[in-house]
């Protein structure tokens, strides 16, 4: 997994699942793999990187042996998306503690605004190759 870019997301969050769909649609080269925070693969990556496995409100990007979280992870993903979306990476110049205030506000309200599922997202047969077990 060291050479793969893995997005770790909240598998029951409708906003998070929509974000995964958004990324998959634009990631035509298949740069990203996906796994839910709640999955065995997600838990394993988080544990190996000394992250709190109970924290499902955080979006993670595991890339080249390094784990990024919250707004930094989101911006690093945006950087690899097609033109216009990759321009969002310019926001990286804002200190993370300031960016993460907005991130934390959205994360704290995501279930109220967008809802949640009873169980983790199940990939379609076409998507299955892009998800870790």
Name the band, by pLDDT with cuts 50, 70 and 90, for residue 121.
confident
- Residue showing tokens 């995964």: 20
pLDDT of res. 2: 53
pLDDT tens track for 16-60: 999 999 999 999 899 999 999 999 999 999 999 999 888 888 999
Could you give the count of Cα atoms lying within 13 Å of 41 in the half-sphere of its Cβ?
17
Strand partners, 61: 7, 68
- CA dist list (Å): 88 to 36, 65, 98: 24, 24, 16
pLDDT tens track for 61-77: 999 999 999 999 999 99
36-73 as b/e: b if 16+ CB within 10 A: bbbbebbbebbeeeebeeeebbbbbbbbeeebbbbbbb
């Amino acid at each position: 997994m060291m050479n793969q870019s893995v997005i770790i997301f909240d598998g029951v969050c409708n906003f998070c699942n929509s974000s995964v769909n958004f990324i998959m649609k634009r990631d035509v080269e298949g740069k990203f793999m996906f796994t839910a925070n709640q999955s065995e693969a997600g838990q394993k990556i988080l544990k190996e990187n000394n992250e709190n496995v109970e924290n499902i409100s955080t979006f993670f990007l595991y890339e080249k042996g390094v784990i990024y979280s919250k707004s930094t992870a989101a911006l690093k993903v945006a950087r690899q998306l097609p033109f216009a979306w990759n321009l969002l990476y310019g926001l990286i110049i804002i200190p993370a503690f300031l960016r993460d205030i907005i991130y934390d506000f959205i994360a704290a309200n995501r279930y109220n605004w967008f809802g949640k599922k009873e169980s983790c997202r199940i990939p379609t047969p076409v998507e299955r190759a892009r998800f870790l077990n």
